[in-house]
Each structure stands twice: as C-alpha cells, then as structure tokens.
C-alpha cells in the first residue's frame, strides 16, 4: 500500500471517528435536555433571575434559562409593577432601532426544551400597560419554539404554539409538522396551522395565564388554556414538529415584523411586564 493511500485511509478514519463522537455528544446533550426538564419546576422571576446567563450554551450546564436581549432597556426589574409576594416584576422592552437578537427584534427569556408525550404546565402572570397602542403587527408574548434538527440541516419554522397580541386582542395559534424532516429552506412551511382562541386584552390589569400541553405530532396531543383561573379552550390533535428534542418556552417581547418593516401607528416601543413564569410537569403526571 502506498503512503498516499495510507494517508487517505487515516484521514477518512479520523473524519469517521469525529462524526461518531459528534453524534454521541449530541444525543448525550439531548438526553440531558429531556430528563432534566420533566421532573421539576423551573421558575423565572425577578427574585430568581440571574442576568449573567446570556448564552444558549448556559442551558446545557449552568442554568434553566438563557436571556436574549440587546440593550440595558431590554430587560429591567420594575418594582412599581410588583404584585403578590414578589418584590418586583420583569419589564421587557423592544424598540424599532434596537439591534437584532437571534436574527430579529426581541427581548426574551428562553427555557430548556420539554419532552414529548408528557403533559407540562406553563404559568405566566402578564401585565399589558395602560397606554398600549393597538396595531396590525403581532407582538409575541409567549412562544413555544420547535427545536429543529440542526444536525440534519433542517430549516426554520413557525413555533408549534404562539400567544400574541394583535389588533387589541390576545391570540393563541398552534402549528404542527409530522414529517421527519421539514425541509432545507431557510424558512420551511409546516403541514398545518390553526388559530385556537382570541379575546380582547385588558390593559392596566395583571392577568394569570395557564397552559397545559401534551406535546405530540400525533392525534393524542392536548392543549388546555386558562385565563385568571377560567378555562378558555381545550384542543386535541397534533401540536408539535417531528424533532428529536421537544419544544421550549420563550417569553418577553418579540416582534418579527419589525425585522423588515417599520412600526405602524407611530409606535416607538413595545413593553410588557411579567411577574412570574414557571414550567413544571402537570400534577397528574407526577
């Protein structure tokens, strides 16, 4: 065997070894995501927030959440809006001139992903300011983002579940995709979308929202939503994308339309307050 053939085989062996190790490492991280998130409560509030966790890599070892902001005004603790037993709330703000964060205009906190097939309980205490201006550009307050299969070079998609404000109303919309691979395009169309609920916002009022979600790409998926303790909807059927790792919750202020279009109605900023946001297995699942 010539030296060039030996060298070629050596290089091929090293590449194959690197690929195998990368796959093992990926599945190890995936297992950590799944097991850590299905057994205990995770909380983001003014008294639990560590502003040092600003990288998604913090989710792997250091923290239950990461903070995705651009500027000092993006996320502040605001005692004047404190309620209940909390000393202060979290104030999220996005301005049109803000630099992009993760490719768009946002100020959000991201939790770790949750598993498929297990009912999760999400709770959020939300305050829409009294001076809120209505517009036809959606402001996403909570989104459950799909964990696309980046190891398969899968493209981006709309979130499996979105809770947003549009034209003075709250909206809850779901999407699903049962395909093993959604596509390679930068933005991929999902198989289905469905508007589940809408109702007027109540500016100047603290409100409690609760979501019970069993993530699934099959007919056994379930969504229930409560507003101030009163049930608003129940939905069954697929509510996720067919990924290796389940969806993850993000909350704050996210305005995708501002990425390419100026604000309407002379709006200079968008502000929302959250007091406490928590994620935990539903009691009946424990």
Instruction: Classify 80 as helix, strand or coil.
Output: helix
Report which of 195, 171, 204 is spatially closest to residue 272, judged by C-alpha positions.
204
Read off the pTM: 0.85
pLDDT at 2 over 80: no
pLDDT at 256 over 70: yes
Average pLDDT over residues 95-104: 95
Burial group, residue 3, by CB count within 10 angstroms (0-12, 13-18, 19+):
exposed
pLDDT tens, residue by residue, 20-76: 676 666 656 665 555 555 567 777 776 667 776 677 766 666 678 889 999 999 998
Helix (H) or strand (E) holding 166: strand 161-166
pLDDT at 204 over 70: yes
Q: How far is CA 4 from CA 10, 16, 245, in A?
A: 10, 18, 42
What is the token pair recorded at 200?
């007027």
Report the pLDDT value the prediction gives residue 241, as an integer from 0 to 100.
Answer: 93
Report the pLDDT value the prediction gives residue 259, as an integer from 0 to 100.
Answer: 92
- The domains of the chain, with CATH numbers, are 38-285 (2.60.120.200)
Average pLDDT over residues 254-269: 94
Residues in contact with 175: Cβ distance below 8 Å, sequence separation at least 6, in sequence order: 157, 158, 159, 160, 161, 190, 192, 193, 194, 241
In the structure, what pLDDT confidence band is assigned to residue 188 with cuts at 50, 70 and 90? Answer: confident
CA distance 119 to 213: 5
Report which of 122, 158, 123, 162 is spatially closest to residue 139, judged by C-alpha positions.
162
Average pLDDT, the chain: 85
Report the pLDDT value the prediction gives residue 215, as an integer from 0 to 100.
Answer: 97
pLDDT at 17 over 70: yes
Report the pLDDT value the prediction gives residue 31, as an integer from 0 to 100.
Answer: 56
Report the pLDDT value the prediction gives residue 85, as an integer from 0 to 100.
Answer: 41
């Amino acid at each position: 065997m010539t030296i060039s053939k030996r060298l070629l085989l050596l290089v091929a062996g090293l590449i194959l070894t690197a690929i195998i190790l990368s796959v093992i490492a990926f599945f190890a991280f995936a297992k950590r995501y799944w097991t850590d998130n299905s057994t205990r409560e995770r909380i983001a509030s003014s008294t639990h927030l560590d502003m040092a966790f600003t990288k998604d890599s913090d989710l792997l070892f250091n923290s239950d959440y990461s903070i995705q902001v651009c500027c000092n005004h993006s996320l502040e603790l605001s005692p004047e809006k404190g309620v209940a037993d909390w000393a202060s709330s979290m104030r999220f703000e996005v301005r049109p001139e803000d630099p992009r964060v993760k490719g768009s205009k946002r100020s959000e906190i991201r939790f770790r992903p949750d598993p498929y097939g297990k009912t999760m309980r999400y709770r959020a205490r939300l305050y829409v300011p009294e001076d809120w201006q209505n517009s036809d550009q959606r402001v996403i307050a909570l989104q459950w983002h799909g964990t696309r299969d980046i190891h398969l070079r899968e493209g981006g998609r709309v979130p499996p579940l979105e809770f947003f404000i549009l034209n003075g109303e709250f909206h809850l919309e779901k999407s699903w995709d049962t395909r093993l691979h959604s596509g390679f395009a930068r933005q991929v169309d999902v198989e289905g979308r469905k508007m589940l609920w809408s109702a007027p916002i109540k500016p100047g009022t603290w409100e409690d929202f609760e979501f019970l979600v069993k993530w699934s790409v099959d007919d056994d998926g379930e969504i229930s939503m409560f507003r101030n303790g009163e049930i608003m909807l129940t939905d069954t059927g697929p509510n996720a994308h067919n990924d290796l790792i389940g969806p993850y919750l993000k909350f704050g202020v996210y305005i995708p339309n501002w990425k390419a279009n100026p604000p309407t109605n002379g709006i200079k900023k968008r502000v929302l307050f959250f007091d406490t946001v928590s994620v935990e297995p539903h009691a009946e699942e424990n």
